[in-house]
Amino acid sequence: MPKIGVDRAEYGKYGEDNKISEIKRLKGLRKAKLDVSQEIENFYADDGVYEILDGGISDLGLEFELADILTEAKSDLLGAPIEDGMEIYNQDIQSPYVAASFRTKMSNGKYVYFGLARGKFSIPSLDAQTKEDKLSAQTDTISGKFAAREDKLMMVIAREDSPSFDLNKFYDRVYGTLPDPIEVTSVSVNPKTTIKTQGTAGEQQFTSLVIPVDAADKEVTFSVAPKPTGLAISTDGKLTWTNAVAVGDYTVTATTKGAKVGTATLTLKTPQ
């Protein structure tokens, strides 16, 4: 199935106990390139291919192109200490072992998750250019090499359209831990403004848009104020009113469990 997007670049750093305690996000993912090398050779005998020798996966390469790589991420991925806001790269610097993952979106709206179990990223080069008349965004690229973990695991691929898909099991298999829930940052209500004529019963369906779209809990509670007799809103955002509801403005509010609020307005205007 065609792939139409890529996002959610993540990584986890192995500690001294050879375990990962936290999964972090690399924001601004533009491209992800995964190179897989497998040792397969023909064995010839009796004047032909006698057997195909398969040595398994020999090498995994991962490249992320990002809008920007923040200092904290560079410290985690490259082992560069931070002093007075500066990244310090000494001659004997060594990148720590990490696990990494990302996902691609398919044309059916479902995701395919890719996880690499253990590897190291290398210090990226820089190719900067001057600003020209036409804007040209410059991005950061970081590349890594991955090998087999102690349990021989190298890579995990999980499709969301599989009947047995379980995202928590994917994270547990790759990282040995689960990411913190993604919190809601904002919510909006659509349509933003609705104008109807007073004296006629009616209804309007309002919908909420929670950001980010992959927030852990996107549930919202709808309410309306003021709320005279004859005006009501359902749990899914359908506002209904009778012909007795007075002229005026009525505010529809969607509230998340984290107390983020979005609003819209119904205006009942005076009949002509």
- Are 101 and 197 part of one and the same domain? no
Average pLDDT across the chain, whole number: 88
Residue 240 sits in a domain whose CATH number is: 2.60.40.10
Q: pLDDT at position 3, please?
A: 66
Considering Cα of 81, then 87, then 91, then 94, what sign does the dihedral take?
positive
Give me Rg for the CA atoms of the chain. Answer: 27
- Are 216 and 91 part of one and the same domain? no
Last residue of a domain, one of 155, 175, 195: 175
Highest mean pLDDT among 147-156, 159-168, 227-236: 227-236
Tokens found for residue 236: 């899914």
Last residue of a domain, one of 141, 175, 209: 175
Q: Which runs of E-coded beta strand occur in the chain?
A: 3-14, 20-26, 29-45, 48-66, 82-83, 86-87, 98-106, 111-121, 140-146, 155-159, 186-190, 193-197, 202-205, 207-211, 220-225, 231-233, 238-241, 248-256, 261-269
Q: pLDDT at position 1, please?
A: 59
Q: In what side-by-side order are the strands of the sheet with 202-205?
A: 202-205, 238-241, 231-233
Q: For tokens 């919190």, what's the residue? A: 183
Domain count, the chain: 2
CA distance 229 to 244: 8
- Are 26 and 91 part of one and the same domain? yes
Mean pLDDT of 78-92: 90
**pLDDT more than 90, % of the chain:** 54
Whether the predicted pLDDT of 43 surpasses 70? no
- Are 130 and 8 part of one and the same domain? yes
Q: pLDDT at position 195, please?
A: 96
Q: pLDDT at position 241, please?
A: 96
Query: Residue 2: what are its φ and ψ, rounded to 5°?
Result: -60, 145
Please check whether residue 51 lies inside any domain of the structure.
yes
Q: What are the tens digits of pLDDT across the range 106-131?
A: 888 889 999 999 999 988 776 666 66
- Are 23 and 118 part of one and the same domain? yes
Please check whether residue 229 lies inside any domain of the structure.
yes
- Are 203 and 152 part of one and the same domain? no
**Owning domain of residue 158:** 3-175
Please check whether residue 44 lies inside any domain of the structure.
yes
- Are 199 and 260 part of one and the same domain? yes
Last residue of a domain, one of 142, 175, 208: 175
Please check whether residue 33 lies inside any domain of the structure.
yes
Whether the predicted pLDDT of 243 surpasses 80? yes
- Are 134 and 29 part of one and the same domain? yes
Q: pLDDT at position 165, please?
A: 92
Q: pLDDT at position 216, please?
A: 79
- Are 154 and 28 part of one and the same domain? yes
- Are 30 and 109 part of one and the same domain? yes
Least confident window among 96-100, 136-140, 157-161: 136-140
- Are 146 and 32 part of one and the same domain? yes
Instruction: Return the amino acid letter for 185.
Output: T
Please check whether residue 180 lies inside any domain of the structure.
no
Q: pLDDT at position 134, please?
A: 67
Q: pLDDT at position 166, please?
A: 92
- Are 155 and 199 part of one and the same domain? no
By DSSP bridging, strand 48-66 and strand 29-45 are: antiparallel
Residue 32 sits in a domain whose CATH number is: 2.30.110
Q: pLDDT at position 191, please?
A: 96
Query: Residue 155: what are its φ and ψ, rounded to 5°?
Result: -150, 145
